[in-house]
Amino acid sequence: MSRIRTIKPEITLDEELAGLGFAARWFFVNLWTHCDKAGRCEDRPKMLKAIILPWDKIKAEVLLDELSPKFIIRYEVAGKRYLQIRTWHKHQRPLPNEKESEIPVPSEKCITNVNHMVDKCYTLDAMEGKGKELEGKGKEVAPSPTVSEPPILTYPTVGKIRQWHLTLTFINILKADFPGLNVLDHCRSARAWCEASPKKRKTSGGMPAFLVRWLTKEQNINTRDTQAPKKYTLSELMADKGGS
């Protein structure tokens, strides 16, 4: 099902995106409308080609390879292939009442690997050794996609769901988007703010966007502090005047 998504004006000035071919850029933008609330969808090139660029003679598999792994994560769970938009929560603001994603999250290995493609990625349970092998066949049994990750931090929220869990997967997504920040420390500060401000708490569905705004603000503060001009004291100015 297609959904309305946000396109920011500055996307045309993105130098990394500009390094792609025009077809890949156009395909990428339209791909957003076919991703769920978490920025995921099934990795089915022929189907995506039919709904995104039905009138153009292109190969969606080639375009997806061009977008991976810098802009999308391609992974497989339980024999099904999926993809994840890397900077989804930084740029998109899904409606709070939009249906939650039912697609399993990519593993930490997939998220942190931006230099080369990983053929098969499994959920964290498989990485921790819970994936089993079929006896005598040597085939790996992928874990159930419904298994959730253990929470790293838990935030109080408003609405029907009264808690939201920050997972390792989402922390690594944030680390990729905000490389100059200590993401976990700032997330702890955001949790403390939520606990101390019950009237300003967010809904569970609004928490990803809240953390992105929080980290964006911290990043802007860091940038402003590093670029701020030096402030001289009166004694320094008088010393300079005396030496001239």
Shared domain for 113 and 130, answered yes or no, is yes
Confidence at residue 238, expressed as pLDDT on a 0 to 100 scale: 65
Confidence at residue 101, expressed as pLDDT on a 0 to 100 scale: 85
* 171/151 Cα distance (integer angstroms): 11
Confidence at residue 233, expressed as pLDDT on a 0 to 100 scale: 67
Q: Can you give the pTM of this predicted structure?
A: 0.49
Mean pLDDT of the residues in the chain: 76
Confidence at residue 188, expressed as pLDDT on a 0 to 100 scale: 93
Helix, strand or coil for residue 163?
Answer: strand
The pLDDT-based confidence of 154 (bands split at 50, 70, 90) is very high
Shared domain for 91 and 137, answered yes or no, is yes
What is the domain range of residue 221? Answer: 149-244
Confidence at residue 45, expressed as pLDDT on a 0 to 100 scale: 92
Assess whether pLDDT exceeds 50 at residue 90: yes
Closest C-alpha to 207, from 196, 221, 193, 219: 193
Confidence at residue 226, expressed as pLDDT on a 0 to 100 scale: 62
Output 36 or 119, whichever has higher pLDDT. Answer: 36
Average pLDDT over residues 42-52: 91
Shared domain for 28 and 106, answered yes or no, is yes
Select from 103, 119, 147 the last residue of a domain. Answer: 147
Confidence at residue 187, expressed as pLDDT on a 0 to 100 scale: 94
Confidence at residue 240, expressed as pLDDT on a 0 to 100 scale: 57
Shared domain for 36 and 120, answered yes or no, is yes
One DSSP character per residue, 170-226 reads HHHHHHHH-TTS-HHHHHHHHHHHHHH-GGGPPBGGGHHHHHHHHHHHHHHHHHHHH
* 244/239 Cα distance (integer angstroms): 9
Closest C-alpha to 111, from 153, 61, 174, 36: 174
Percent of the chain's residues with pLDDT above 90: 19
Shared domain for 43 and 132, answered yes or no, is yes
What are the beta bridge partners of residue 140?
133
Q: Which of 15-24, 91-100, 140-149 has the lowest mean pLDDT?
A: 140-149
Shared domain for 163 and 177, answered yes or no, is yes
Confidence at residue 189, expressed as pLDDT on a 0 to 100 scale: 94
The number of helix segments (H) and strand segments (E) in the chain equals 11, 7
Confidence at residue 239, expressed as pLDDT on a 0 to 100 scale: 65
Shared domain for 101 and 221, answered yes or no, is no
Shared domain for 52 and 169, answered yes or no, is no
| Sign of the CA dihedral running 145, 150, 155, 159 | positive
Confidence at residue 237, expressed as pLDDT on a 0 to 100 scale: 60
Average pLDDT over residues 129-152: 43
Shared domain for 143 and 164, answered yes or no, is no
Shared domain for 83 and 203, answered yes or no, is no
Chain-centroid distance, C-alpha 88: 5
Q: Which of 10-19, 22-31, 137-146 has the lowest mean pLDDT?
A: 137-146
The pLDDT-based confidence of 137 (bands split at 50, 70, 90) is very low
One DSSP character per residue, 57-89 reads ---HHHHHHHHTTTTEEEEEETTEEEEEETTHH
The pLDDT-based confidence of 70 (bands split at 50, 70, 90) is confident
Shared domain for 109 and 17, answered yes or no, is yes
Select from 147, 173, 204 the last residue of a domain. Answer: 147
What are the beta bridge partners of residue 76?
81
Q: How many domains does the chain have?
A: 2
Shared domain for 143 and 155, answered yes or no, is no
The position carrying tokens 């991976």 is: 68
Select from 147, 178, 210 the last residue of a domain. Answer: 147
Q: Which of 22-31, 169-178, 187-196, 198-207 has the lowest mean pLDDT?
A: 169-178
Q: Which of 27-31, 56-60, 196-200, 233-237 has the lowest mean pLDDT?
A: 233-237
Peptide bond before 69: cis, by omega within 30 degrees of 0? Answer: yes
